[in-house]
Amino acid sequence: MIDKIAWLHLVDGRILSTRSRGKQAYYLPGGKREPGETDEQTLVREIREEVTVAIAEPTIRPAGAFEAQADGKAAGVVVRMTCFTAEYTGTLAASSEIEEIAWLGYADRDRVSAVDKLIFDHLHQAGLLK
């Protein structure tokens, strides 16, 4: 099991996504926790590292957990994505590990990882992702 944290940031029916250097698929911003970190601490650190903004910690809200086959891993290796929403300060920008930031809609579902597809489906059914 790969345990990850993700930030769901939607604007006008599109969701913020990132593409790492050398990768084709887009992923929701976030990542793995370091030893001793809470979900919230992981979210704050990963978002600062990936898209250079500061998450406003008092605004962090749980947004669901999703599990699917991990991209690029052996069959049966599952990723669990625990998602949060939150407000932020700063200007979104790709960090050194991120090649591109993109605003994706539901029509872009085929461009994201398996677990992100589940999240896209959930957000689309809730009327949040157009």
Coil, strand, or helix at residue 77? coil
Parallel, antiparallel, or unpaired for β 10-11 and 78-85? unpaired
Residue 71: its pLDDT value, please?
A: 86
As a CATH number, domain 2-123 is 3.90.79.10
Residue 72: its pLDDT value, please?
A: 84
Residues 6+ apart with CB under 8 A from 41: 33
Q: In the chain, what are the domain boundaries?
A: 2-123
Distance CA 28, CA 117 (A): 10
Alpha-carbon radius of gyration of the chain? 14
Q: Assign residue 79 a region: left if phi > 0, alpha if psi is -120 to 50, beta otherwise?
A: beta
Predicted TM-score (pTM) of the model is 0.94
Tens of pLDDT along the chain (130 residues) come to: 999 999 999 999 999 999 998 889 999 999 999 999 999 999 999 999 999 999 999 999 999 999 999 988 999 999 999 999 999 999 999 997 899 999 999 999 999 999 999 999 999 999 999 9
